[in-house]
């Protein structure tokens, strides 16, 4: 579990392909590794990865084909910078929001506007995530806990202060940059809860006449 408050930025120094998976090595920069142990979790651009090797200045983790498929890791290269956050402790200040490190999809930076004391960034999210993104709600972008300031369909806007731009990789974003998105986990649970008893029923992909009639698209 994480909070979305980035502790450091790191740099990918090695990518080793192992079949469909990748062994990733990250230079951790100023991240304090003194309390890290094998098996610990480190959010890397918002993706929860398990430490399989480490030193005072690096860690390695295995990235599965499933993770590569649903995150921006497919485009990462040696030299790519990443946001880093170690898993939270019970005594950690909860400055962000609940972040699981399970990315829901990849968005695209669609516009950037610079203002006198902040930068306005617009992100195009996958259509299927639009229902989870709410005005003044929380969203995780490349591991950073942020507040949604405006929503227009599946596109949302962020106001970013200089500190966030300096302490994360967001300051390097350009139009077209791909970003990992994790929606607020509370929205996920609420969606499931609202299904009530129907949540126990197997998901049916086929659309029947009964289904259409029930939802007002056909006459019984």
Provide the whole-model pTM. Answer: 0.87
CA distance 146 to 113: 17
Q: What pLDDT, in 10s, does the model give residues 86-96?
A: 999 887 778 88
Rounded average pLDDT over 24-37: 97
- pLDDT, mean over the chain: 91
Q: What is the pLDDT of residue 192?
A: 83
- Pairing relationship of beta strands 119-124 and 150-152 according to DSSP bridges: unpaired
Q: Do domains 8-86 and 105-194 have the same CATH topology?
A: yes
Phi/psi at 131 (nearest 5 deg)?
-65, -15
Domain boundaries, the chain: 8-86, 105-194
Distance from chain centroid for Cα 186: 15
CATH class of 105-194: mainly beta
Rounded average pLDDT over 149-177: 97
Q: What pLDDT, in 10s, does the model give residues 110-127?
A: 999 999 999 999 999 999
CB 98 within 8 A of CB 186: yes
What is the fold of 8-86?
Answer: Elongation Factor Tu (Ef-tu); domain 3 (2.40.30)
Rounded average pLDDT over 15-30: 94
Rounded average pLDDT over 12-38: 95
Least confident window among 30-39, 173-182, 193-202? 193-202
Instruction: Name 180's bridge partners.
Output: 106
CA distance 11 to 83: 9
Rounded average pLDDT over 40-51: 97
For the cut 90, the answer to whether the pLDDT of residue 219 exceeds it is no
């Amino acid at each position: 579990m994480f909070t979305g408050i980035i502790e450091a930025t790191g740099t990918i120094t090695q990518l080793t392909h192992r079949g469909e998976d990748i062994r990733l090595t990250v230079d951790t920069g100023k991240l304090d590794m003194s309390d890290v142990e094998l098996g610990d979790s480190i959010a890397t651009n918002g993706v929860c990865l398990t430490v399989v090797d480490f030193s005072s200045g690096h860690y390695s983790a295995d990235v599965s084909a499933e993770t590569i498929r649903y995150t921006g890791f497919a485009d990462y290269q040696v030299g790519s910078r990443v946001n880093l956050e170690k898993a939270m402790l019970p005594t950690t200040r909860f400055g962000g929001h609940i972040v699981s490190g399970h990315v829901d999809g990849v968005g695209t930076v669609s516009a950037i506007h610079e203002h006198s004391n902040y930068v306005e960034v617009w992100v195009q999210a996958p259509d299927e995530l639009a229902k989870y993104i709410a005005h003044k709600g929380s969203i995780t972008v490349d591991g950073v806990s942020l507040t949604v300031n405006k929503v227009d369909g599946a596109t949302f806007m962020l106001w970013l202060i200089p500190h966030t731009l300096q302490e994360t990789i967001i300051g390097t974003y350009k139009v077209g940059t791909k970003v990992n998105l994790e929606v607020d986990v509370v929205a996920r649970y609420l969606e499931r809860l609202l299904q009530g008893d129907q949540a126990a029923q197997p998901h049916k992909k086929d659309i029947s006449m009964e289904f259409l009639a029930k939802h007002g698209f056909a006459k019984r």
